[in-house]
Structure formats: C-alpha cells, structure tokens
Copies of this chain bind each other. A is one copy, B any other.
Amino acid sequence: MKIDVIENVMQYNKDEAELNRKKFNENKVSVVNILSAPGAGKTTLIIETMKKLGSSINIGVIEGDISSTHDSEKIKEYTGNVVQINTGGTCHLNASMIAEAIKKLPLKELDLLFIENVGNLICPVGFDLGEKARMVLSSVSEGDDKPVKYPKAFVKTDLVVLNKTDMLKYSDFNMDFFNSKVKELNPATEIIALSCKTHDGFKRWEEWIFSMIKNSK
C-alpha cells in the first residue's frame, strides 16, 4: 500500500481553497494573503491602508497568529470586520481555517479582505487559502538578502512590498541587489517600495489595491 498522507493533506487544502475562492468570487470581494517575517509590518500596513482608504472601500481582516489577539485588538479600532485565527502552534494558516473564519464576516459587504498569515517566510508558502493575490511583505531592516534566503516565498507571490523605506538612510540595504534577486526568482512580480511611517510609495500601493478590487467586481 502506498503511503500518501502528505499528498492527501495538500489535495484537501487545494480543494478547500477552491471552495473559498468560489465564495470570494460570488461575493465580489478581493482577497490578499500577506506573508512576511515577524515584525515586517503586516498589521501596520493593514492599519495605515484602512486609515487612508477606509472611507471609500469596505475592508475586512483575518488575523493569523499562533496565540494572542494582540494584532486583531489593534485592528478592531478601525473595523468591526476582523476575525482572529489562533493556530495553537501551527506555523501557517490553511484553507479550512479560512473557511471557518469567513462564516463570521459579511463577505457581501466587503470590497477587500486582508488575510494576515502567521509571521514566517517558510511554512505558509505551500498553502493556498483561496486568495486572489498573494503578497510578500519584506522590510528594509531585515536586510536585502531575504530573497536569497527564502526563495520559495518570493517565487510564489503576485506582489512584493518592501516596507520601512524610511530606514534606508540608516542602513546598508542595497536596493539594486534586492530588486535583482527578486526579479531573478520571479520576473513577473511588481515590487512596491513604501514606508508605513511617511506614506512614501503609498500612491502605487493604493493603485494596486484599486485595480485588484476593480478586477473582482
């Protein structure tokens, strides 16, 4: 008898992700799955985006964490449409967790749903959640070698956002090196460099979001 437990788990996740995707499409909501290392600024990017766009579009958030409601409590100040998933130790979200979480969200009312994955550039890579777009959020303070160290995350993404560009002046981060390594792995991806502190680069980020939403309507 063939032992194929892992294959089945991955197939099950794929099937569940397709069901989520169908539900998102029916409800015309754009879903973005955000992957990053701890401390890259996922929660801050979501909050700054809500501050800027919250009056023109309806944004929901699914927060993934091992434990604690630390991030969703911050986000609650900006939207009631936030659901916390505590994985209890698992290092990534999966499609079944998302299927449970969206039961608690008014999908029909939302234009955009951010899924903040567990902070980790390895485990979440293999798990489709049914999102429309996946993005990797990197940050200047992590250094310019992240594409070299965590290549799979950068290969399997639709967008790379580089946060904390306000730190460039205090750092030896080499932007050309970072960009060229990302492009080697994923020639099609766009790279948006921005700062959640100064909002430099936010214009392009907002355009990207609006074009995503337009595509889902």
Copies held by the complex: 2
Contacts of A167 on B, CB cut-off 8 Å?
141, 167, 170
Contacts of A139 on B, CB cut-off 8 Å?
39, 141
| Residue tally, chain A, CB below 8 Å to B | 32
Contacts of A66 on B, CB cut-off 8 Å?
122, 149-152
Whether A121 and B119, one on each chain, are in contact in the complex, defined by CB atoms closer than 8 angstroms, is: yes
A212 within 8 A of partner (CB): no
CB distance from A41 to the nearest CB of B (A): 8
Contacts of A143 on B, CB cut-off 8 Å?
39
Among candidates B70, B142, B152, residue contacting A38 with C-beta atoms closer than 8 Å: B142
Contacts of A118 on B, CB cut-off 8 Å?
122
Among candidates B38, B120, B141, residue contacting A146 with C-beta atoms closer than 8 Å: B38
A65 within 8 A of partner (CB): yes
A181–B68 CA distance with the chains assembled, in angstroms: 13
Instruction: Rank and list the top 8 A-B pairs by shortest CB-CB distance, nearest first.
Output: A39-B142, A141-B141, A37-B38, A91-B122, A70-B148, A39-B143, A37-B37, A68-B148
For this complex, 14 residue pairs linking A to B, each with C-beta atoms less than 8 Å apart, are A37-B37, A37-B119, A38-B142, A38-B149, A38-B150, A39-B139, A39-B141, A66-B149, A70-B149, A71-B149, A119-B121, A141-B141, A141-B142, A167-B170
Residues of A within 8 A of B (CB): 37-39, 65-68, 70-71, 89, 91, 118-123, 139, 141-143, 145-146, 148-152, 164, 166-167, 170
